[in-house]
Amino acid sequence: MLRALVLCLALLPGLAFARCEGVVPGQRPQNTSREFVGHTLDEIVARGWIEFAVYEAFPPYSWDDSGNPRGIDIEVGKVIAKSLGVAPRFRFVQAGETLEADLLNYVWKGAAVDGRVSNVMLRVPYNSDFTCRVEQVVFTGQYGAEEIGIAYALAAYPDAVQTPGEDGRHPDAPIPAFFRYDTVAVENDSIADFYLTSLPGGGLADKIKRFPTMQAAMAALNAGDVMAAMGPMAQLQADAGPGVAVHRPPMPGFAAGHWTLGLAVHHSHRDLGYAVDDAVAAALADGTMARIFAGYGVDFRPPDR
């Protein structure tokens, strides 16, 4: 579910290029039928509902609980819909090989099968340089942030992290050296998996235990089958059982360890983009967004806006 976006901005000594200069954008939609490019804000309001694309089976962000959509992103969608005066509908979608593929399939063009798009896609990583490459999409509504952290069994490593300071935060600590001796769980082919695999010396290779989902990795940690787990902080916190602690140590060379979360809409519907961004801004300002995250046992990390 996670993708390392390696996005470079070329620099010359003493001269910085314009943000999008030198970036080759992706293909533009050509001769696309109107029904495949979403709906205007006026049309959405007139029909009385808005559709959000959310990732399936992706707690604590979004999942289908016996026909009842649940998760942080579901609540964010409800806040936006309420602001627009319409009902929310949620379309659970699968993650593709790349973020570009997801945006093509669910926002601006449509997949080969069931080739419709949704009005808004949630949980879209935001990077200002990446927006230069994908001109078919408006990236807006930054509503939170995510970062990679580590969960570990307190009984096994009682001194792994020092006592929190007066501000409640753990002081900086290196990546636990015990990863070289004991097992650590990760989601297969995730950012955490790539990072641990690439650490110098390759000493962790036989200690990394890969699971199909982060939820399964945390279940293994809670059951004592592994000694630690590494992945997105929200997923670690949401699934941490009794006796499991979570923290975020410094991770040298880990440029992709923190990212902003936002929304995506079709590039031709900027009026909708402005409206959903206003709704998100209001929810950030009055504390609604922080309460949504807290309701799922997750620390709220403000976005870069």
pLDDT value at 38 more than 70:
no
pTM (two decimals): 0.83
pLDDT in tens, 45-65: 999 999 999 999 999 999 999
- What is the domain class of 34-145+259-294 according to CATH? alpha beta
Q: Give the H or E element holding residue 89.
A: strand 87-93
- When the pLDDT of each residue in the chain is averaged and rounded to a whole number, the result is 83
pLDDT confidence of residue 156: 82
Contact present, 230 and 148 (Cβ < 8 Å):
yes
pLDDT confidence of residue 247: 86
pLDDT > 70: percent of the chain: 78
pLDDT in tens, 146-198: 999 999 998 888 876 655 444 444 444 445 555 667 899 999 999 888 888 88
pLDDT in tens, 255-276: 778 899 999 999 989 999 999 9
pLDDT confidence of residue 110: 85
- What is the domain class of 147-247 according to CATH? alpha beta
- The confidence band for 249, taking pLDDT boundaries of 50, 70 and 90, is confident
State the Cα angle at 113 between 109 and 114, rounded to 5°. Answer: 70
Q: Do domains 34-145+259-294 and 147-247 have the same CATH topology?
A: yes
Every domain of the chain and the residues it spans: 34-145+259-294, 147-247
Give how far Cα 242 sits from Cα of 136, 165, 231, 237, 239, Å: 45, 22, 18, 11, 10
pLDDT > 90: percent of the chain: 58
Q: What DSSP designation does 159 have? A: T
Weakest mean pLDDT among 33-47, 122-136, 177-191: 33-47
Q: Which residues pair with 148 in a beta bridge?
A: 232
- The confidence band for 6, taking pLDDT boundaries of 50, 70 and 90, is very low
* Residues in Cβ contact with 303 at an 8 Å cutoff, skipping those fewer than 6 apart: 126, 142, 143, 144, 145, 260, 261, 262, 284
- The confidence band for 9, taking pLDDT boundaries of 50, 70 and 90, is very low
More confident site: 21 or 136: 136
